[in-house]
Structure 1
């Protein structure tokens, strides 16, 4: 029972994780010609001026055009993709499509997805055509044929009509690209009011997908990429001197199948994963399975005293050692096969929970291309042989003469037990290591969700969807009305918010230096810091009464207004980290200092700015991202969200906010979320990871304890005579229990000495992925060791107490 249960648990865990690993590594394998489809990625290097290292999946529009122009023999097609969730008008009713992809070419010439209505070849014939996913078409049109119907997309050019030309099958879950709808648009018309987006190499607003004529061409292009960058990326000439974006950014073609687990995860179309995590889970699955195999080996060798006479008699009756080895391996394979059947049953039952937990759609199929029947058979054979090989050779080596001597105890055939001790140490080292990793990951996840982010999460409602054309400047009256809602303490519009999707960086220069310093640049309005609960540590807040505080310039760009702004200058508020990057010794020293920065779209040179205040640093992004030094400007437009500070009932405040929004902007759906919920979503992956580690730790401990219980039972049975003699000579039951418990707790203590350094090394590297992290203290190590010891002692003590309490008469009667 112990063998089969332990093996079944180990095999079930192994099968589940191997299914997960195969699923993660199979992203985009379903795509025809996947080996020819690539994404052009932008890799930013860390710079001496404070620029952070960033590996973006996005790339500039001009980059894709230059690649297509320079490599006509290698590049078959390039399509630039923009992603957003616009308001779509259907029969006069406004709604939002979550994943609309706006493309400047025929995306389906690159992504050959199956169509249920229409065809890929005719899906995007012109710049006013749109194709819908099957689920989106069902949501909008029910069972009616949507082809030929009209949808109106409200973007920065106003309402634009698009004709539905096809319906494609829903994008598979294991895909690095997804879409509810794909609309083809006119790139020039879309960016007519901001032409710099078409030519700027630092302007990443979407993704370039490339289809090559031959897969091998990617290596050639990547090899020549440095020369291509020098040839195409122009210098930026300004008052700060001549700079070239190519000096700190590189481009790379990455195959579509390597995106999900690739190095570039920033600004991804769909959430990715890292190869280290997937590999770690695979290693853990093998370790858990290995522990189950160790149980089999330990129990088989421990039972050798009971089977020694069997082996001896078989040899006397003519059995060869090869026949005995075959017999014992057959027994091992049979036990493993039974355990595998139980494991597959458990896998089928647990898979829906597992999928819901990881947000995947893993399926178990036994036959066909993705079938697991052959891998399961192979795993059964490998585990059966691995678990039974040593016992088979060990048991088959017994000499009949030694075993069958009249004065020889069968118990003496068991050997010294050193191997069993080593294997028990290994088992508990794995268990303790997993418990430590679970504790550290859980601690870091809690720290990330609850640590001081520089703003107050409690009582903060974030309202988005301000960037849609349907808002039409009415967001200001929404804010003014929100401030009058009972319970609302402050409300303000902002360009940056909790978990922002974009990143804005400007170069700033001190008056006494021409060395640039890269700072995040974001627009806010008065009252923003109060709404966010951010602390002003030096200087003053923005004021509507001070003209130089207002950095608003007209959009589309008016050169006269830009020139006037450049001559007048602006006041800014910076963060504590920004003052440090700028070289000031304290926030107080920074107040009043003059700087220059690139604040205009026209080529008018650097704008003089003055620091009037310093606020505490705020972590709007995940702790995995470096803390960004920020420069805030006060403006009256160009915002993406509203921050609302409230007290009282959250549900009532959100309901009141939605009422205000709907009354003023009925064409745009309300999107309000609480900051706590947004932050929780930021760390869902870490939380899921910690729970998976916890599950593995529990499984490892259970398997270890099963083996320990079995070993204790057999050891106590073999020492029945010894225990009886000890009791006759005056040993108390407590003394016997201590003797047996100490024998099995020594390996657990030694296991700590192995697990602690290994877990420390792994967790140190994992924590280094976070910009802010918990300290790796001895507490989780001591707690894990103590927990493993307590569980081991409890497992042994119950059985030891029963054995020690047995009357010595029963033990010695046969003598």
Structure 2
């Protein structure tokens, strides 16, 4: 019997080849697309879940709230060293706390400093918290040695070749530290789904007290977030109980600021959170090395996956129900010959499940073929297991059954109840069918509403990405080189000679050192006030006078800072007594000339840039016990957006001193590679102990918006798939409708209807659902895209253009899908349609 059911099912498919192709190919496309998207979603949620003990591993994150003085909301993965010390001291529920500093570390090789890749320094057994798999050594004791270092497999091979690296000595350089380290372990190369970044090559033990001896504020300030705090909770400890104690803990540990007799506690604007290590990647804080995930986008893709699969299932069910009534005579004859209703139900559901099974197998094949391309596009390592707890085979089988039953249940129960006498007496033809197809039209509307919505989202996301890359940032991106690693003592010592010689390079038009750079990830801010007014918070950065021509900034009022003017220079000699602040006292007594950005002048209440010139602004640039540093505004410059367009434009206070630079900006004309090579040659001659690192600003900006560009491209790809699936279903329904209306079309032609009249009739019938779909898709897409665009401080306008374009495109595609078929049907000789009468 089952062989008979299979034979009948295969014959039905062979008899209706177009119907079978549309059903199978459309459903397989939907299944493949759904599996691809869900594999990506699952991968994004899998970050660090491969790490043993990850349920007890947490990162302390520092969230800042805006204050009355202004400022901005900041959600930081990084925390201060002081917060880790206090956490270790005050919470017995925490088993271990480790400080993780991602300062740059160079390795001496053949007498030259070489950057091995991503590096980190830690003050404790980090591998007890982040249980990275080792291939050599004991992870629990690898960093017991104060001069122990562990390497990744790739870094070990690069350093030692095929020789055994264990116990070998390498020289590390970081900051003022140059020391020999012994290799105590080799860890497996990290997978790409980790917040630590897969390129992590070296993790070494260090002593923060000696490393930061020249800058003790790093160890004591709660506002100096220069590293990461990891904590391992004791078994059974509840992180929510610990977080509930944080407000009192902050008050108890964070010292008050005392300025002019007023006590304020910086902790009032700070909130600390313990975040599970697997939750870091898609967490709220995105400033760290794992800050490349967007939970909202990932969830959106999951919804898109289900919508595309739903569209494919709608196609399947739509065509199955549309073709069902054409088999009325077949059912009647089967019943006359003795078939029971149960046998008919099994037959039709079996046929539906056969088609579903074939489509599923084809969908899995398409999924396997497309997965390598998706991995290459996302630079990911997405893998899929078919068996086991996380295998996809069981869900796919369940999906096959659900889709097969959904597509076959209506034909099975509807057709199996036909009365043979009524059907055969009425001489029902294979082209006739009951019902007006309202349900099928509603399903077509739903399909095209999804397609139009995806097209709109694609256009808006891609448009915003282009807008963000090309929006005026207040400086010229082209012809700008950003040289980094200037924060090291060796580079600082050679800094003046370096920048002067860079300016002499042919093609270089300007060069200047600065503590702020394009999308550098660092932030510095403090409070400022005009006499008699409340304080406001401004960004504060060191620049050289040549920063204006190097960045292409415009001087709106006043003058530029000058190295020749002593009042423009905030440099103070290092004090032997860090408590006395003698040099700072002298600076406070003398005062300082500074510049403001245009928005900073507005924040301080100046009516215009010219109105700020010569005015006094007091800045919290010195220890709070000394009060405010009196400064005089000598210039106001145009605003520069150093950060991404997602972040608000920071009002900036610029001043000059001879130290504290992190980057050098080089403006040039001519061949970028040649200029970079010459700067690198100068660097290696003047700063031989520090690796050279530079990036073109155009590349920096392009890379930072790569995530949004990938999202747009993925949305575009899946929007195309959605349209293809919708058109397949529309073509199938058009074919079916034209077939069932063969007699009607013949009569119309006999009565004088022209071919174009028939084409217009059929096209209009199938264009109406698409037009209705626009009315549904437009408001939903507008609401979704409005919320997405609100993430950006600078954003494109949400004009009607993407909506009209998407709607017109959908209508044109629908007309193109059914137009040729309608034309062919309309040209058919009416004799062929009416001869059976």
Which residue number in structure 1 is paired with residue 9 of structure 2? none
Q: Which moved more, 1:138-147 or 1:466-475?
A: 466-475
- The answer to whether the aligner puts 1:438 opposite 2:449 as a matched pair is no
| Residue 574 (structure 1) aligned to one of 596, 618, 624 | 596
Residues 15-164 of structure 1: matches in 2 within 5 Å? 15-72=35-92, 74-164=93-183
Quote how far apart the aligned CAs of 1:18 are.
1.1
- Distance across 1 between alignment mates of 2:339 and 2:258: 90
Change (3 A) 1:240 1:548: farther
- Range with bigger deviation, 296-305 or 779-788: 296-305
Q: Is the 2:326–2:432 Cα contact (8 Å) retained in structure 1?
A: no
Partner of 1:637 in structure 2? 659
Cα drift, residue 666 of structure 1: 2.9
* Rounded Cα–Cα distance in structure 1 between residues aligned with 2:247 and 2:417: 66
2:358 is aligned with 1:309: no
Which moved further from structure 2: 797-806 or 142-151? 142-151
- Structure 2 equivalent of residue 486 of structure 1: 506
Name the counterpart of 1:586.
608
For the 8 Å contact 2:743–2:833, the answer to whether it is kept is yes
- Superimposed CA distance per residue, residues 157-207 of structure 1 (whole angstroms, 9 cap, x where no aligned partner): 231221111111122222222432111101110111111111111111011
Paired with 2:574 and 2:739, the residues of 1 have a C-alpha distance of: 87
CA positional deviation for 1:222: 1.2
- The alpha-carbon distance between structure 1 residues 602 and 511, as it changes in their structure 2 partners (threshold 3 A), is closer
Q: Does 1:258 align with 2:279?
A: yes
Partner of 1:747: 769
Structure 1 match to 2:833: 811
Shift of 1:541: 1.1
Is 1:687 matched up with 2:706?
A: no
Out of 46-55 and 283-292, give the one that drifted further: 46-55
Partner-residue secondary structure (3-state), 2:32: helix
Aligned residue number for residue 222 of structure 1: 243
Distance 2:794 2:116 in 1: 35
1:734 and 2:756 aligned: yes
Residues 193 and 556 of structure 1 are in contact (CA less than 8 Å); yes or no, is this contact kept in structure 2? no
Alpha-carbon displacement from aligned partner over 1:550-592 (angstroms, at most 9, x marks no partner): 1122346763322221211111111121122112222222222
Deviates more, 1:471-480 or 1:804-813: 471-480
Partner of 2:620: 598
Match of 1:628 in 2: 650
Q: Secondary structure at the match of 1:462?
A: strand
Matched, 1:169 2:185: no
Following superposition, the deviation at residue 472 of structure 1 comes to: 4.6
Checking the alignment, whether the CA contact within 8 Å between 2:593 and 2:655 is kept in structure 1 is yes
Cα distance change of structure 1 residues 588 and 495 upon mapping to structure 2, 3 Å threshold: same
Task: Summarize deviations over 1:237-281 as a string: whole Å, max 9, x none.
Answer: 123832111110011111112211112222x13233122111110
**Are the aligned partners of 1:524 and 1:632 in contact in 2 as well (CA < 8 Å)?**
yes
1:448-487 alignment runs, 5 A limit = 448-487=468-507
Query: What corresponds to 1:789 in structure 2?
Result: 811
Q: Which moved more, 1:760-769 or 1:140-149?
A: 140-149
Q: In structure 2, do the counterparts of structure 1 residues 397 and 679 end up closer, same or farther at CA, with 3 Å as the change threshold?
A: farther
2:557–2:609: 8 Å Cα contact kept in structure 1?
Answer: yes
Q: State the SS of the aligned residue for 2:493.
A: coil
Q: Find the residue that maps to 1:489 and give its secondary structure.
A: strand
Q: How far, CA to CA, are the matches of 2:411 and 2:567 in structure 1?
A: 84
Q: SS at the partner of 1:366?
A: coil
Match of 1:189 in 2: 210
Q: 1:240 to 1:25 in 2, by over 3 A?
A: farther
The offset of 1:321, in angstroms, is 3.8
Structure 1 SS opposite 2:239: helix
SS at 1:303's partner residue?
helix
- Correspondence for 1:496: 516
TM-score (norm 2): 0.94
CA distance in 2, matches of 1:210, 1:733: 77
What stretches of structure 1 of length at least 5 have no aligned partner?
Answer: none
Alpha-carbon distance between aligned partners in 2 of 1:454 and 1:215, rounded to the nearest angstrom: 53
Q: 2: distance between equivalents of 1:240 and 1:440?
A: 53
Q: Deviations over 1:689-740 (max 9, x none)?
A: 0000000110000001111111111111111111111111111111111111
* Contact map agreement 1:297 1:391 (CA 8 A) in 2: no
- Displacement of 1:409: 4.7
The CA distance in 2 between the partners of 1:588 and 1:402, in whole Å, is: 94
CA separation of 1:659/1:8 partners in 2, compared to 1, >3 Å: closer, same or farther?
A: same
Q: CA RMSD in A?
A: 1.7
Structure 1 CA distance for aligned equivalents of residues 399 and 828 of structure 2: 43
The question of 1:609 aligning with 2:648 is answered no
Q: Deviations over 1:512-544 (max 9, x none)?
A: 12x321111111101101100112212211112
Aligned counterpart, 1:519:
538
Q: CA–CA distance in 2 between the matches of 1:146 and 1:496?
A: 39
The 1:157/1:325 distance shift into structure 2, 3 A limit, reads same
**Distance change (3 Å), C-alpha of 1:624 and 1:501:** same
Given that 2:492 and 2:661 are in contact with CA atoms closer than 8 Å, whether structure 1 keeps it comes out as: no
Does the CA-based 8 Å contact 1:11-1:343 persist in structure 2? yes
Unaligned regions of 5+ residues in structure 2, if any?
Answer: 1-20
Structure 1 position 602, deviation (Å): 7.7
Task: Give CA-to-partner distance per residue, 1:471-495, whole Å, 9 cap, x none.
Answer: 2521222211221222211111111
Distance change >3 Å, CA 463–CA 367, structure 1 → 2: same
Match of 1:720 in 2: 742
1:505 correspondence with 2:492: no
Aligned pairs for 1:262-661 (under 5 A) are: 262-266=283-287, 268-406=288-426, 408-513=428-533, 515-555=534-574, 559-601=581-623, 603-661=625-683
Aligned equivalents of 1:302 and 1:42: distance in 2?
59
* Count of residue correspondences: 812
Matched position secondary structure for 1:180: strand
Corresponding residue SS for 2:179: strand
Tell me which residue corresponds to 1:202. Answer: 223
The answer to whether the 8 A contact 1:298-1:420 is kept is yes
Q: Counterpart in 1 of 2:8? A: none
What do the CA deviations read for 1:456-483 (whole angstroms, capped 9, x no partner)? Answer: 1111111112123442521222211221
Question: How far 1:393 moved relative to its partner?
Answer: 3.6
TM-score, normalisation: structure 1: 0.97
Structure-2 separation of matches of 1:624 and 1:240:
38
Shift in alpha-carbon separation, 1:388–1:481, aligned structure 2, 3 A: farther
Check the 8 A contact 2:28/2:362 in 1, yes or no.
yes
SS in 2 for 1:380: helix
Distance 1:441 1:139 in 2: 41
3-state DSSP of counterpart to 2:752: coil
- Please report how far the alpha carbon of residue 646 of structure 1 lies from its aligned counterpart in structure 2 after TM superposition: 1.4
